[in-house]
Every structure is written in structure tokens, then in C-alpha cells.
Amino acid sequence: MSCHEGRVAARAAVRRLLPRLLLGLPAVALLTLFFVLPYVEMVAMSFRAPAFGQPFGSGHTLMHYGRALGDPIYTGALLRSLLTGALITALCLVISFPLALHLSRLQGRWHVVFYACIVSPLLIGVLVRNFGWMVLVAVDGPFNRWLLAAGLIERPFRVLFTQGLVVMALVHVFTPFMVLPIATALRNVRPELRDASASLGAGGWETFRRVTLPLSFPGVQAGVTLVFVLSVAAYVTPALLGGQGIAYMPAVVVRELIGSFAWPFGAALAVIMAASTLAVVTVFTLATHRLAERTRG
């Protein structure tokens, strides 16, 4: 009897919820058709044969992977992108942690003001933010004039089109992506835990190292993963601020696709870039697995 009632209730719930679930279909269709399938198409494209006068030919081949992995131009660019991505991620983490801590200690009006300072760059295009750096570091720009006026340098620095500027500008672009997950995680660290640590005799630094840091680790893990993935594939900033000298992987890929019109080879390079990024993220997740588990337990 109760079993029958259960079934009736379940059927009623389905009838009530089904229309709701159907509402999700258009979005699922959009993302399946124009997001999932394009990624499938990218992998498929990387196995197509090359052709003259058109982007790709008929037939399938593995030659693009052989060519990409056998040529130091491409492996070098890939390695440079991965290393630079790691450097950018580390720098983002270093400046984001103090910001997130600061945010987590503020209340009310000031919290909103500083939160807005960190979030609003997210709503301004990467191009515009890069351009801000071009203005600031120009040979006759404010940085050089201030340094000259202060007598710290004798001749203006040439910063534009250097790797240092690319790294700095990308740290600037990705910092909000690191601050937000860490700040969320810090919000979940209850203040009583810090008080307890202090009352047990731990100093400020020790409390930070043994209580706050481990408890906010899931946020760090999320931020590091996101920033690394995004920075390895960053195209605009190196293209605008890095000049022609240094080749990063995204620029190489775009050149093959748009410049040389070699779609299968460009696709193979993109797949290699995505796969190596994923490999690094997997290693990082596995290596920090125990730290993250400790927080959850």
C-alpha cells in the first residue's frame, strides 16, 4: 500500500518537475551544439589531411602531431607558454592572498568598495587593461618620468615589448580570478578557530600557517587551476605587449589558422596545448590532493 502511495507521489513529483526540467533544454541544446561539438570538431580537424588552396583536405593522418612534436620551434613555444603560465599563476597567488585576507576582514560599506576595486577589472576588456599598461610604461610615460625625476635612473627604460611587461599585464588580468575563490574559502573559516588557536598560544603567523592557510586551501586550488588554464592560452596580451620577438603557443596557433590557413596543423597545436595544460593541472591536483583532503576532513 505504502509502496503504491510512494509510486503515486513520485509520479506526481515528476509531473510537477518535468516542465521545469524541459525549460533547461534550450540552454543544453545551445551548449551541446555550439560548445561541445566545436571541441569535438577541433580534435577531428587535427587528424585531417592538409591541402593546398583550401583549409583542409580529405583523408586522415597523424602527421600534424609528428610535425608539431618533432620541431623545437613548436615544443619551445609550448614549454615557454607553460612555464610563463606557472610564473603568472605563482605571482597571482602571492598578490591575491593578502587581498583576499583583507577582504575577508572588512565589513559593510568598505567591504563593498574594496570588493568593487577587485571585481570591476573583470568587467573591463583585456585589451583595454593592456592598453593602460602601454600608456603607463611608454618611454615618455609617467613611470619613466617619475623615476627620472626621482634620480633613480638616468635614461628612460624601454619596457614595452618585453617579457616582463607581458607577465605583469597578465598577472593584472587574472588576479580577480584568484582573489574570488580564495576570498570565498576564507569566508568559510570561522573566526572562533583563529581565536582558539590564539588562546592555545599560537602567534599570528603560526595561526595563519596552521589554521587559516590550510582551511582556505580549496579556494587556492580552484584559483590556481583557473588562472593557469587561462594564462597558458592567453592570446591578446602577448600579441599586443610582447612584440614580435618572443613566440608563445597561442600566437603560433593563431598564425597557423589565420596567417597560413593551415587548419589541421593549427588544430593539432591547439589540442597539444590543451592536453599539456590538462596534464599539468592533473599533476597539480593529485600532488595537492592530501592537502585538500585534510581541509575537508
Q: Counting contacts by CB under 8 A, is residue 250 touching other proteins?
A: yes
In the complex, what is the shortest distance from the CB of residue 295 to other proteins, in angstroms, rounded to a whole number?
18
Of residues 135-174, those binding other proteins (CB under 8 A)? 135-136, 138, 140-142, 172
Q: Counting contacts by CB under 8 A, is residue 180 touching other proteins?
A: yes
Q: Residue 257 CB: number of other CB atoms within 10 A? A: 17
Task: Report how far Cα 157 is from the mean position of its chain's Cα atoms.
Answer: 30
Of residues 61-90, those binding other proteins (CB under 8 A)? none
Total residues in contact with other proteins, by rule CB under 8 A: 78
Q: Counting contacts by CB under 8 A, is residue 31 touching other proteins?
A: yes
Q: Which residues does 272 contact at the CB level (< 8 Å), separation at least 6?
A: 65, 68, 69, 74, 78
Of 5, 8, 29, 237, nearest to 132 by C-alpha is 237
201/279 Cα distance (integer angstroms): 42
Choose which of 6, 66, 132, 203 interacts with other proteins (CB under 8 A): 132
Choose which of 1, 3, 128, 287 interacts with other proteins (CB under 8 A): 128
Q: Which stretch binds other proteins (CB under 8 A): 3-11, 71-79, 148-156, 222-230?
A: 222-230
In the complex, what is the shortest distance from the CB of residue 1 to other proteins, in angstroms, rounded to a whole number?
26
Q: Nearer to other proteins by C-beta: 83 or 275?
A: 275
263/48 Cα distance (integer angstroms): 9
For residue 159, what are the CA distances in angstroms to 35, 128, 138, 232? 38, 18, 7, 22
Q: Which stretch binds other proteins (CB under 8 A): 151-159, 190-198, 208-216, 235-243?
A: 235-243
Q: Counting contacts by CB under 8 A, is residue 99 touching other proteins?
A: yes
Measure the CA dihedral 214/215/216/221, to 10°. 60
Q: Nearer to other proteins by C-beta: 35 or 290?
A: 35
Q: Which residues pair with 60 in a beta bridge?
A: 48
The three three-digit cell numbers of residue 237, written as one number: 596580451
Q: Nearer to other proteins by C-beta: 63 or 236?
A: 236
Q: Nearer to other proteins by C-beta: 4 or 140?
A: 140
Of residues 251-270, those binding other proteins (CB under 8 A)? 253-254, 257-258, 263, 266-267, 270
175 touches 96 (CB < 8 A)? yes
- 69: number of CA atoms within 13 Å, CB side? 11
